[in-house]
Structure 1
Amino acid sequence: MSPPISAVKANKPTPNQENQRRDSVIVVNSAVPKNRQDVLKWNGWGYQDSKFVYQDDTNEVRFTGERYPIGELRLPHLMGWVKDNFNVDFSKPKRSQQVPPEDSYPEPRISPENLSKISDLGIAYSTKGIDRLVRAHGQTLHDIYTLRYSNFERIPDVVLWPACHDDVVKLVRCADDNNMVVIPFGGGTAVSGAVECPTGENRTIISLDTSQMNRILWVDRENLVACCESGIIGQDLERELRKLEFTSGHEPDSYEFSSLGGWVATRASGMKKNTYGNIEDLLVHVRMVTPRGVLEKNCLVPRMSCGPDFNHVVMGSEGSLGVITEVTIKIRPLPKCQRFGSIVFPDFESGVRCMREVAKQRCQPSSIRLMDNGQFKFGMILKPETSYLGLLVDSLKRFYVTKIKGFDVDSMCVMTLLFEGDEEDVKAHEKKMYSIGLQFGGMPAGQTNGERGYMLTFVIAYIRDLALEYRVVAESFETSVPWDRAVSLCSNVKQCVATHCRALGIKHFMINCRVTQTYDAGCVVYFYLAFSHDQVDDPVKVHHIIETKARDEIVASGGSISHHHGVGKLRKRWYPSTVSQVGVDLYLATKNQLDPNNIFATNNLVRAKL
């Protein structure tokens, strides 16, 4: 048996676990503490010390803090681009409201009897306004705009922090016995409205915060699996596994703040899924507490043929059927070599054709993403200040690409790559990728561009907070689509957004996209929409109208309503047509069996009719 990696004693294993070769419990020092608002923004994305800041004395932007590569560097190109594209008046910022005082929050809707029963559980809880507020939302535009400039109609009445699986069992039983609602809360990064409180719900709403369930319960080195509590945050999981020279390989854009349980509940995907798989490929075993009991399999095996796979009932359930408490996932040894790369193409269509060929040959690197021309230009304006020599080198590169190779700055696009594996395998993979790129008119653009493009993924979410200060709405949405419809879908959606922006009187807007994932049968497309709402009375409502039209167009063009963000409340209008009425009835039958009293009344996917 492998030696323990922590002095903390593990819980007594089940009979099926006793024969496994396992390391003992790892207690994790979480990057997202119980009092989230002490470290994270209460009204925006990410860390308090990390943000884009406009400096009116220099008319430039810098990114604060040292957590990211662009930290404390000047971004001299950003504000000129913003001015040209959105006609922003920088002298009139729209500042966010301050943290509401304690006496301004709605009174908790909880009887003294129910509060006493919650207290008797022995689980940490709070009815403080700020604790309830920061768990009343995810990261949709509606959520953040409301936090900054308005108030939520309904927030949780009490927050509970269970410390383990058994705490959740007690809590769910108490809620079911006393007709209280439970909304599971993980990392708070949902962009589907999944954790928002239903406005018509009059029962006591409990926000079940899983952040204190963040231990790695064991690591099985022989079978390459690890069992973790569901509240562990992605970056914490990866940090602790790396100490043991392992990786999960699951790296969604939100992995700094999103939780393992949330990944399962939303059927998440990561940037390196080509090597490590999506969450459904990583999942080996899961425990979910429901009002009818605990749903789980009886053993840990790579595959079972024993009827429908109930793991797939848990995955994508979005908190509507129960609480995910423990997850066993596959892990892999750390790759010995990691190298970035990039290829520049004369146009978007050439890049998509290249990606299609790469998928046909099944030779995708760990990550392969294609930015359209708009995304490419936006990435360039986020480049920090550089030296004279750096400017000279950039000018020479531009001269070579545009004058020698004949690429048009207004149509060219860039593919970013990440290779992982053994040194020789990576070299062979690089050679093959660049050879395929050459077939479609591409040329290598260097490791630096590839690394910058990859790392900007974690920074780009911060820019929405700055945009809102200057009356610019910014949001993204994604879809999956068959290969033969990918280019036309992108074109149709862009045209649809442009048409409806103009019809709504919006003169200054941006709509661009990138292809972020590839499969045998299709790809994933992210769209980025922004517009100036200086002349718009209700920008959130207008954005909802435009995005709804865009999603209608996505569906009409052969795309899905979501690839990995889930359905939640934001996209449930398309859910019945996606799965058929029989599918809806099957989901509701499952809901009725597992949660007959609708304790998990999230109203995600469809509204339960019980």
Structure 2
Amino acid sequence: MADKSLDKGSSGEDIRYDHKWGFTDTYFKVNPDKTVTVTGSRYALSGTVMHEFLPFVEEMLDIKLDFDNLKPIVQDKPVLPARLNDGFYQAVQAQLSPEQVSVDDRQRLIHSHGQTTADEVYKVLYGVLERVVDLVLFPESQQDVELIIELAGQHDVCLVPYGGGTSVSCALQLPQNEDRSIVSVDMRRMNKILWIDHENFRAGVQAGISGKDLEERLERVGYTSGHEPDSLELSTLGGWIATNASGMKKNRYGNIEDIVESVTMVTPRGVIEQGPAMPRQSLGIDPKHVAFGSEGNLGIITSAVIKIHKLPEAKKYGSLVFPTFQKGTEFLYELAQTGTLPASIRLLDNIQFRFGSALKGEPTRMEAIIGEIQKFFLLKVKGFDPNELCAATIVMEGTQEEVNYQAKLINRLAKRHGGIAGGSTNGQRGYMLTYAIAYIRDFLTDFHIIGETYETTVPWNKVQAVIDAVAAMVDQKHKEHNLPGRPYISPRITQLYHTGVCIYFTHGFSTMGVENPDEIFSQIEHTLRETIMAAGGSISHHHGVGKIRKDFMKHAISPAATQLIKEIKQANDPQNIFGIRNNVFAESAEPELATE
């Protein structure tokens, strides 16, 4: 039976921004002395007074910030009148409660975009979205979802599943050529843990639960799912499945396809599900796999059975400093081949290492003394170049014996590659910074700076080639568009595999005086994805394809594979009720990849 305490949600203080990232109690505030403070108390960074943050931004972008010329947000955001399908609207009003049906303009706008910088957030904050959903529904049960889909078929409307709204692939961007009424189906009221099987370590969970609520409720009874993406606080279980997501601790707990044992998805032709969840089954083509990466094209994911783990007996943070990124990568390569990985290990390049330092507050006298000693040791004794050194942050979880063994192995291997231990405090701080850094994009946009992250999977022998190719192309495009200052481009390795890694690139530039900066940014992003794939990277590691990477699908799968997917869609949804048109269903300009 389900524990009733599991149904209790998060604090009532968790109020989200309508269009920006995160919660309203948290923002980066510029003080009169030009220091920056993170408001609230939600994050490790909260309350920190950062003296070096803005100087670092100016140095990296080679610009001077203008505090008297902030980019103005459109206050009265234009929302076109709803195109309601009267028959459908009357039917849902008759069969759902009034609280489950909304035509409110604010709700319609919130549900009409994800978090892709240039193509969505930039437009809704500083311009206008060309298409907005016409109606928002809030199902509270599987029966509600089945009813909504049945009525959509009867009245020919377009349904768009909505989870946490954190997509960065334009997966929630509405098709411009959709003439039908578009209805957003917000799943977040279906947020319960239905049951826990304590003997077999699995749980039945509704798909609308956020990662934050899932982990909080599991922790109350001694468990974790282990899935910890950067968007943990906001994204949902259904969204993780629909995008084939990955978390920061995938080394220990697996990616989402490893965590989920069975899926229930409602489609226009009925409910797709399996029998009882099993550790593994050989039953031919497994229907649950249709849900992974479905990106809203096939149906609505309503629940899943997931693996759960007892909370780890021991947890230890660590950090390492390497003389160069190449040395750090060589260390990761050797570590991956041992088969013994910590829950998380991430390698940051020199720029991100320095950025992390710029986000620190004023040190105490003792911290300053220790810092000077460490700096002297690294630069004078070990001879590290301050403009080349990089750092790795580490999280180890498990039994005390496991953690001790991992720590010894990691330190021994690191020494072979010139690595030096950087301490647990730096490791913990670096890991927890992940959640607060997402707010920086929106803060810097006020100063006419635009930025985004791109992730990819790369074989071990192509890591440096991909990094070098991206850096060169960023520089080239910056000059071609005659953009101010210089671009910010910085890679980090976030996940390890036996055969390769996930690389995250952070890219940004100043848009001061630039016309149509969002369009330029989108063009450059497209070119960089082309560059990544031409140099040996994948179309995506975990963000999915959506619409932003639609043009590259022909390079990712064969024509026959594309046709198979389209035929599954046609058989399952002949009316195209789920008409969000992501991935192979999106219209494509089909560019060619760059060649040598």
Q: Same fold (TM over 0.5)?
A: yes
Task: Report the alpha carbon displacement of residue 389 of structure 1 after superposing the two structures with TM.
Answer: 2.4
Structure-1 separation of matches of 2:377 and 2:358: 20
Give the conservation status (yes or no) of the 8 Å contact 1:346–1:411: yes
Task: Report the alpha carbon displacement of residue 172 of structure 1 after superposing the two structures with TM.
Answer: 0.4
Aligned: 1:302 with 2:279: yes
Give the conservation status (yes or no) of the 8 Å contact 1:250–1:270: yes
Q: What residue is the counterpart of 2:85 in the other structure?
A: 111
Runs of 5+ unmatched residues, structure 2? 588-596
Q: What residue is the counterpart of 1:352 in the other structure?
A: 329
Moved segments of 4+, more than 3 Å: 30-33
Give the conservation status (yes or no) of the 8 Å contact 1:121–1:171: no
Match of 2:316, SS state, is strand
**What aligned pairs does 1:450-461 form with structure 2 within 5 A after superposition?**
450-461=427-438
Q: What residue is the counterpart of 1:173 in the other structure?
A: 150
Structure-1 separation of matches of 2:514 and 2:479: 12
Structure-1 separation of matches of 2:445 and 2:524: 18
Task: Report the alpha carbon displacement of residue 528 of structure 1 after superposing the two structures with TM.
Answer: 0.3
Change over 3 Å in CA distance of 1:4–1:48 after alignment to 2: closer
Q: What residue is the counterpart of 1:71 in the other structure?
A: 46
Structure-1 separation of matches of 2:85 and 2:562: 35
Choose the corresponding residue for 1:271, options 248, 260, 268. Answer: 248
Task: Report the alpha carbon displacement of residue 97 of structure 1 after superposing the two structures with TM.
Answer: 2.2
Structure-1 separation of matches of 2:156 and 2:320: 57
Task: Report the alpha carbon displacement of residue 428 of structure 1 after superposing the two structures with TM.
Answer: 1.4
Q: What residue is the counterpart of 2:576 in the other structure?
A: 598
Structure-1 separation of matches of 2:87 and 2:289: 37
Task: In structure 2, give the amino acid aligned to 1:139.
Answer: Q
Structure-2 separation of matches of 1:358 and 1:375: 22
Task: Report the alpha carbon displacement of residue 200 of structure 1 after superposing the two structures with TM.
Answer: 1.3
Choose the corresponding residue for 1:466, options 440, 443, 447. Answer: 443
Q: What residue is the counterpart of 1:15 in the other structure?
A: none
Match of 1:547, SS state, is helix
Q: What residue is the counterpart of 1:51 in the other structure?
A: 27
Give the conservation status (yes or no) of the 8 Å contact 2:2–2:196: no
Task: Report the alpha carbon displacement of residue 278 of structure 1 after superposing the two structures with TM.
Answer: 0.3
Task: In structure 2, give the amino acid aligned to 1:565.
Answer: H
Number of residue-to-residue matches in the alignment: 581
TM-score by length of 1: 0.93
Aligned: 1:122 with 2:96: yes
Q: What residue is the counterpart of 1:27 in the other structure?
A: 7
Which string of whole-angstrom CA distances, capped at 9 and with x for unpartnered residues, describes residues 149-205 of structure 1? Answer: 111111110000000111100000100111000000000100011112111111011
Q: What residue is the counterpart of 2:411 in the other structure?
A: 434
Runs of 5+ unmatched residues, structure 1? 8-25
Structure-2 separation of matches of 1:474 and 1:148: 15
Give the conservation status (yes or no) of the 8 Å contact 2:88–2:151: no
Task: Report the alpha carbon displacement of residue 84 of structure 1 after superposing the two structures with TM.
Answer: 2.3
Task: Report the alpha carbon displacement of residue 606 of structure 1 after superposing the two structures with TM.
Answer: 2.1
Match of 1:606, SS state, is helix
Q: What residue is the counterpart of 2:542 in the other structure?
A: 564
Q: What residue is the counterpart of 2:3 in the other structure?
A: 5
Aligned: 1:139 with 2:115: yes
Match of 1:597, SS state, is coil
Structure-2 separation of matches of 1:111 and 1:358: 58
Task: In structure 2, give the amino acid aligned to 1:62.
Answer: T
Give the conservation status (yes or no) of the 8 Å contact 1:31–1:236: no
Structure-1 separation of matches of 2:368 and 2:10: 41
Change over 3 Å in CA distance of 1:269–1:54 after alignment to 2: same
Structure-2 separation of matches of 1:440 and 1:365: 18
Structure-1 separation of matches of 2:200 and 2:88: 45
Give the conservation status (yes or no) of the 8 Å contact 1:186–1:231: yes
Further displaced range: 297-306 or 156-165: 297-306
Q: What residue is the counterpart of 2:16 in the other structure?
A: 40
Give the conservation status (yes or no) of the 8 Å contact 1:28–1:214: no
Task: Report the alpha carbon displacement of residue 126 of structure 1 after superposing the two structures with TM.
Answer: 0.2
Which string of whole-angstrom CA distances, capped at 9 and with x for unpartnered residues, describes residues 338-381 of structure 1? Answer: 11001100000000010010111111100010001111111111
Q: What residue is the counterpart of 1:195 in the other structure?
A: 172
Task: Report the alpha carbon displacement of residue 113 of structure 1 after superposing the two structures with TM.
Answer: 2.5
Match of 1:505, SS state, is coil
Match of 1:552, SS state, is helix
**What aligned pairs does 1:245-324 form with structure 2 within 5 A after superposition?**
245-324=222-301
Match of 2:217, SS state, is helix
Task: Report the alpha carbon displacement of residue 95 of structure 1 after superposing the two structures with TM.
Answer: 2.8
Structure-1 separation of matches of 2:175 and 2:367: 53
Choose the corresponding residue for 1:553, options 522, 525, 531. Answer: 531
RMSD: 1.5
Task: Report the alpha carbon displacement of residue 82 of structure 1 after superposing the two structures with TM.
Answer: 1.8
Further displaced range: 561-570 or 90-99: 90-99
Which string of whole-angstrom CA distances, capped at 9 and with x for unpartnered residues, describes residues 29-84 of structure 1? Answer: 14699xxxx811123110011011122x2111111111011212211101111222
Match of 2:410, SS state, is helix
Task: In structure 1, give the amino acid aligned to 2:227.
Answer: H
Structure-2 separation of matches of 1:62 and 1:150: 28
Structure-2 separation of matches of 1:303 and 1:85: 50
Match of 2:180, SS state, is coil
Structure-1 separation of matches of 2:283 and 2:340: 33
Choose the corresponding residue for 1:159, options 114, 136, 140. Answer: 136
Structure-1 separation of matches of 2:85 and 2:434: 45
